[in-house]
Structure 1
Amino acid sequence: MNMEIKDVLDKWKEFTLTNEQGMSVSILNFGGIMTKLMVPDREGNLENVVLGYKNYADYESNPNFFGAVIGRVAGRIQDSSFELADRNYNVEANEGDNHLHGGSNGFHHVVWDAAPFQNTDSIGLKLTHRSADGAGGYPGNVDITVTYTLNNDNELLLDYAATTDQNTPLTLTNHSYFNLSGDLKSTVQNHHVTMNSAAFVELDKALIPTGNVTDVSGTTFDFRAGRALSEGFTDKSEQHKIAGNGYDHYFLFEKEGNVVVEDKGSGRVMIIETDQPGLVMYTSNGLDEGLELNEGSSRKYLGVCFETQAPPASLHHDGFPDLIVHPEEPYHKRTKFSLRAE
């Protein structure tokens, strides 16, 4: 195993963790951003399977949130406000009237304290940050730790931990765009996804949850037996049109969270396991075109995000998994990405 540390733009550091199989992940201390994930295909060729900028300076704005840690609340908060203990809180409206991904100064723009580590069969990076009471409009001093661990079984584990001194909304995720074809050889239209979800959350035209939970049966949102993502790109239903002819929806898991993503061209398979109650699957329907990425130019459907998290809809609607964290109950969530080739 090996770790390389590189200075970036005279103000950040990039940590590259490599296991004994040759798989590697590169992470910036700025935003906790995963800039590259090098994974072998069925022939053993190591290629990058996440979207990242060719020029590091582009991460300073990063409107697409490539690879970043998202918080305090991942997703959209309706009307940029919420009520907690009979008090109303206002957060930044950074997407129309609504609050998106922690606001313009969310965790994706934080320079985290970074501490690399190595164990017998794994190598990792621990990122820490204190979000002060009132930061972004949120209550409570929150101490956050995000740990990336790469082991010799080609598993990448993301552990999220936090403590707070006040009740506060908190749900963290990683916003990497995956493309298992390797080095952006194709879009993700032929990626085959299997997911144990029987219901998704309906969106309005501003991509805000309506509060309605929709049964996936008989729709292109039913991934229980697996389907190609392209089926949602071409389907004419209203929910796909609202999302820009694709997916940008929260899926509620049945029992444990488990997703399998397959790319037959490369042979790569990614298994996602999480203790979160669901995830947002976003198929880059609104990805800006013409951005200079590591292996080429950006375009629609070039990546797919699996944003494992609790739903912000719970701040305005009953019946959803809660995302309020309490001082007496520390936050701890894990998402594991297992990579292999067939």
Structure 2
Amino acid sequence: MEYSFKTIGSYENKDLIEYTIENKNGIKVTVLNLGGVITGIYTPDKAGSFKNIVLGYEDINDYIENEAYYGAIIGRFAGRIYTGKIEIQGKVYELETNHLGVNNLHGGTFGYHTKLWNVCGVEEDNQVGLVLEYTSENGEAGFPGEVKVKVKYILNDDNEFYFMVAGETDKTTVLNITNHSYFNLSGDAERNILNHKLMIKASNYLELSEDFAATGKVLKVEETPFDFRIEKEIGRDVSEDHYQIKAGGGYDHPFKFDDEIGLVELKDEKSGRAMTVTTDNPYVVVYATNYPVEKKLYNGNYPELRMAVCLETQNAPIGINACNKEESILKPGEQYTHYTKYKFYTL
């Protein structure tokens, strides 16, 4: 097990640091203190060749704004809050509407993805990791309450990588945190993910309005392009003439897991790379790069439509008539805790 770090630049007159954790099998994860961004996850293909399976920028400075949210910790609220207004204990808080002028997206322009996190390494017999901490002040980005957040990235010798989150507040607020990595199992974004096979153990998904807000309606996946209960290629139905495909520009929807522990599988048969995702979050938002950000990737190319897929494990977005709000309410004395585990293997 190995843990190392290096200074690669500066941000707000402080060091911009990239951390590396690696297990005995050669699987490696690289993480920035800026936004807790995962810049790389290096796994082998069926021939044993290690390549990066997440998207990232060529220019390290592009992570400062990170409009695509590549690899970042997302908070205070992952996903959208319709109208950017939220009522908590009788008081209405007005948030930035940084998405279409209608929704608060991913905590606003200056969400957790733009913050410098305190980072320390942890090493044990069969695992190595990072502990990241950040205190979000009362009123930051318009949200009430001081929130203390701790994120752990843990990699073990069974090729399992954990994203674990804990949070607490001194004032009733909302909290909904995810990681926003874009996965492409071909390695170094060699090709798009249309032929990747995806399975989601979810019989239902949430309807979106034309401005991407959750309507409060839960829809069945059966006999729709959203049925991934049996694995299928992402590209098979992503351009179907379906009103929800049109609403999202493709897949950009919360899938509600059938079980208390949710399950997702992603496979690329050409490279032989595969992964399973298990989580205690109730939803996974699947986003298939419907709107690529025109900034160069680390491989020297620009991202294209369907270049990667995000698997954002989280609570439901807060939509029309404040639907789903209650599941993300966090009160003083309570603990927000969730985990997501990624298991990497070859076919």
- Which range, TM-score by smaller chain? over 0.9
**1:288 positional shift:** 2.4
**1:232 positional shift:** 2.9
| 1:193-243 Cα distance to aligned partner (Å, 9 max, x none) | 111111111111111111111111101101111211102322111111121
State the distance in 2 between where 1:79 and 1:314 align: 8
**1:268 positional shift:** 1.0
Q: Which amino acid aligns with 1:81?
A: K
Task: Identify the residue that residue 49 of structure 2 maps to in structure 1.
Answer: 45
Q: Which amino acid aligns with 1:160?
A: V
2:268 is matched with which residue: 263, 266, 286?
A: 263
| 1:24-73 Cα distance to aligned partner (Å, 9 max, x none) | 00000000000011001111110100000111011111101000000000
**1:85 positional shift:** 1.4
| 1:80-133 Cα distance to aligned partner (Å, 9 max, x none) | 011111211111111112100010110000000011110110110100000011
| 1:131-188 Cα distance to aligned partner (Å, 9 max, x none) | 0111111111110001100111111100000111111100100000000011111101
Task: Identify the residue that residue 115 of structure 1 maps to in structure 2.
Answer: 120
SS of equivalent to 2:333: coil
1:51-200 paired onto structure 2 within 5 Å = 51-95=55-99, 96-200=101-205
TM-score when normalising by structure 2 = 0.95
SS of equivalent to 2:318: helix
**1:317 positional shift:** 4.4
Unpaired runs of 5+ residues, structure 2, are none
SS of equivalent to 2:187: coil
**1:321 positional shift:** 6.8
SS of equivalent to 1:130: strand
SS of equivalent to 2:245: helix
Unpaired runs of 5+ residues, structure 1, are none
**1:328 positional shift:** 2.1
State the distance in 2 between where 1:338 and 1:271 align: 5
When the two structures are aligned, how many residues end up with a matched partner? 340
Task: Identify the residue that residue 5 of structure 1 maps to in structure 2.
Answer: 5
State the distance in 2 between where 1:321 and 1:336 align: 25
CA contact (8 A) 1:160 1:332 kept: yes
SS of equivalent to 1:335: strand
SS of equivalent to 1:9: strand
CA contact (8 A) 1:277 1:321 kept: no
TM-score when normalising by structure 1 = 0.97
Task: Identify the residue that residue 283 of structure 2 maps to in structure 1.
Answer: 278
Task: Identify the residue that residue 226 of structure 1 maps to in structure 2.
Answer: 231
CA contact (8 A) 1:311 1:321 kept: no
SS of equivalent to 2:97: coil
Does residue 251 of the first structure (1) align with residue 230 of the second (2)?
Answer: no
SS of equivalent to 1:51: coil
RMSD over aligned CA atoms reads 1.3
State the distance in 2 between where 1:107 and 1:78 align: 19
Identity of aligned residues (%): 37
Which consecutive aligned stretches of 4+ in structure 1 deviate over 3 angstroms post-superposition?
314-321
Q: Which amino acid aligns with 1:7?
A: T
SS of equivalent to 1:234: coil
